[in-house]
Amino acid sequence: MRQPPLTSTASFQALAQHADTAKTWQMRDLFAADPDRFERYSDEAAGLFLDYSKNRLDGRTLELLVQLARERGLEARRDAMFAGEKINNTENRAVLHTALRAPRGATLVVDGQEVNADIHAVLDRVKTFTDAVRSGEWLGHTGKPITDIVNIGIGGSDLGPKMVVLALRHYAHPRLRMHFVSNVDGHDMDAALAQVDPETTLFIVASKTFTTAETMMNAQTARAWFLQHAPEDALARHFVAVSTNTEAIKTFGIDPANMFPFWDWVGGRYSVWSAIGLPVALAVGFGYFKDFLAGAHELDEHFRTAPLEQNLPTLLALIGFWNRQFLDCASVSIAPYHQDLNRFPAYLQQLDMESNGKRVTRDGQPVDTPTCPAIWGECGTNGQHAYFQLLHQGTDVTPMDFIAALRPAHEMDNHHTALLANCFAQSEAFMKGKTAIEVRADLQAQGLAAEEIERLTPHKTFPGNRPSNTILMERLTPSTLGALIALYEHKTFVQGVIWDVNSFDQWGVELGKVLAKKIEAELAGEPAPGQHDSSTNGLIARAKAAF
Ligand code: F6P
């Protein structure tokens, strides 16, 4: 059913009216007026605790936001996704990353095919293979165990496994060193190959389509490098593939017995739960990989069954929408206060921006509001000493998501205390700010002259009233990490429903790919048709002159 334009809905209009007042609120006052604000605006599920009290909202705001979600048909759309309906309407595909983490025996039929059995058959193969590599039973062609694994993939075939392997490094096998090559820039492959030995290296070529130009070029380079050191029949001990495209894998020369399949209903940026997670299972072992899936499944169940008012991904999404739409926040900054989540902001960039960076609805009509904000970030405390200045005193308001584990995976307790203190201090500072009156009082206490106080006060004043969420978990484990990723996946889904965009296609990346092919041929010496603009022609000419 075609959705009416978002701005025409009754709940959107009620929210717009409500926002006129809400814009004048100071969070300091909201906290002062309600001693229970933290309890009221926090909740937990699947090992994750969400504090959303430091946002410019009240009970009425949430009520209207939930009303909007209902008016946009969130519950029906959510159920359609879980049921395997083809909600990716521009590619005519189901969207079933949730099925990848459902326990064995769950039933789900897509296009007449029972998918749970297929999923678990592949998981069984992942277990057999990863057990063999980890135990040292799987040998390289000269009889040595594997020591290095190079995952060759890009986008979803890189960001997910790379982020998770780093996040779970405390669970990793001590013998296996993990490398990730994604960029077509030869410096990436060059750096990886410089660290590995062809006798003991396993290459995983990971590509849903097995046509992605960067991955294909990197895979060919790795293959050629390997064959400089080993005979052709050694390839089977050193190259495996993860893909949906069996024919292309055969053509590349990888034994189909070494292929781990997945399905077109798994979007690239939602694929770490499939065999694309092979590097994760190799690094941490199949048992922990299953815990990772189970953590995500627990969050799925929460998303599927919890009332919208207590539904963590829904709340995150609605608050994000509120900030974007009514408080004019054009970007969101992600601050994991956990060094092992270093790649999490980059992972979320693809998840969120490739999903909801859209400007037309599922029916091809222009979306009549702004859509996905830019997502960016860096681990705390490092970000504090780089760009937090802008977050505190810049002219734009950027909502923050703080993410932290209450217990570390190390024994340096003083470090962890300092880390958490910084995390909580930042959200407090963003919320409260520091008024001119407070600044003047401080400067007076320091004994500064009146004139100096007036000169410095504007520079030392913090507007505050800057929204943030804080997500806490007991520890960063395979299970809580699984839940955390699923939380953001479903948040992305809910926002897509509100904007009525298809969150599961990515046509916007195609144009650049086509043009790059053309220019690559020109750089390689084919006659330039001269059809570019003068800037592009000039850049091509300069590059050719340098070759
Ligand atoms: O071009 C974008 C994209 O299709 C992403 O959506 C995807 O994750 C990435 O490229 C890699 O695709 P593949 O796994 O097919 O190589």
Best mutation site among 509, 514, 517 for ligand 1 pocket (most ligand atoms within 8 Å of CB): 509
Residue 330 has pLDDT above 80, yes or no: yes
Report the alpha-carbon distance of residue 27 to residue 29 in Å, rounded: 5
Please report the pLDDT score of residue 82 as a whole number.
97
The residue from 385, 451, 459, 510 that is catalytic is 385
Q: Catalytic one among 513, 517, 520, 526?
A: 513
CATH class of 26-85+306-432+466-499: alpha beta
Q: Which residues contact 331 (CB under 8 A, 6 or more apart)?
A: 373, 374, 375, 376, 396, 398
Measured CA to CA, the distance from residue 416 to residue 245 in angstroms comes to 46
Q: Which of 252-256, 377-381, 388-392 has the lowest mean pLDDT?
A: 252-256
404: nearest Cα among 420, 387, 384: 420
Q: Which residue has the tokens 């913090």?
A: 462
527 band by pLDDT with thresholds 50, 70 and 90: confident
**Residue 354 near residue 327, CB atoms below 8 Å:** no
Provide the pLDDT for residue 452: 98
Q: How far is the CA of 348 from the centre of ligand 1 (A)?
A: 15
Please confirm, yes or no, whether 434 is among the known catalytic residues. Answer: no
pLDDT at 3: 93
Residue 22 has pLDDT above 90, yes or no: yes
**121 vs 105, 115, 161, CA distance in Å?**
12, 10, 20
Q: How far is CA 50 from CA 19, 91, 420, in A?
A: 23, 34, 15
Give residue 31's pLDDT band: very low, low, confident or very high (50, 70, 90). Answer: very high
To test the ligand 1 pocket, which listed residue (151, 154, 265) has its Cβ within 8 A of the most ligand atoms? 154
* pLDDT band at residue 97 under the 50/70/90 scheme: very high
pLDDT at 368 over 80: yes
Q: Whose CA is nearest to atom 9 of ligand 1?
A: 155
State pLDDT tens for residues 420-470. Answer: 999 999 999 999 999 999 999 999 999 999 999 999 999 999 999 999 999
> Given pLDDT bands bounded at 50, 70 and 90, which one contains residue 530?
low
Task: For 18-49, give one letter per residue: b (16+ CB within 10 A) or e.
Answer: bbeebeeebbeebeeeeeebeeebbbebbbbe
Helix (H) or strand (E) holding 402: strand 400-405
Which mutation among 208, 354, 358 tests ligand 1's pocket best, with the greatest number of atoms within 8 A of CB? Answer: 208
Instruction: State the pTM of this model.
Output: 0.98
Condensed to tens digits (0 to 9), the pLDDT of residues 103-114 reads 999 999 888 889
Domain ranges of the chain: 26-85+306-432+466-499, 97-290, 507-546
How far lies 256's CA from each of 123, 203, 214, 240, 499, in Å? 16, 15, 22, 9, 42
pLDDT at 529: 65
For the segment 364-378, the average pLDDT, to the nearest whole number, is 98
Residue 61 pLDDT exceeds 80 = yes
Who's near 64: CB < 8 A, 6+ residues apart? 11, 14, 15, 18
Q: For a pLDDT cut of 70, what percent of the chain falls above it?
A: 99
Residue of minimum CA distance from atom 1 in ligand 1? 509
* 54 carries an active-site annotation: no
Mean pLDDT value across residues 485-505: 98
Question: In CATH, which of 3.40.50.10490, 3.10.180.10, 1.20.1260.10, 3.30.360.10 is domain 97-290?
Answer: 3.40.50.10490
Contacts of 498 (CB under 8 A, 6+ apart): 6, 68, 69, 72, 74, 317, 318, 321
Q: Which residues line ligand 1 (CB under 6 A)?
A: 154-157, 207-209, 212, 215, 268-269, 354, 506, 509
CB 404 within 8 A of CB 419: yes
Active site residue 385: yes
Distance in Å, CA 353 to ligand 1 centroid: 14
- Point out the ligand 1 atom lying closest to the alpha carbon of residue 209: 15
Q: Report the percent of the chain where pLDDT is more than 90.
A: 97
Query: What pLDDT, on a 0 to 100 scale, did the predictor assign at position 111?
Result: 86
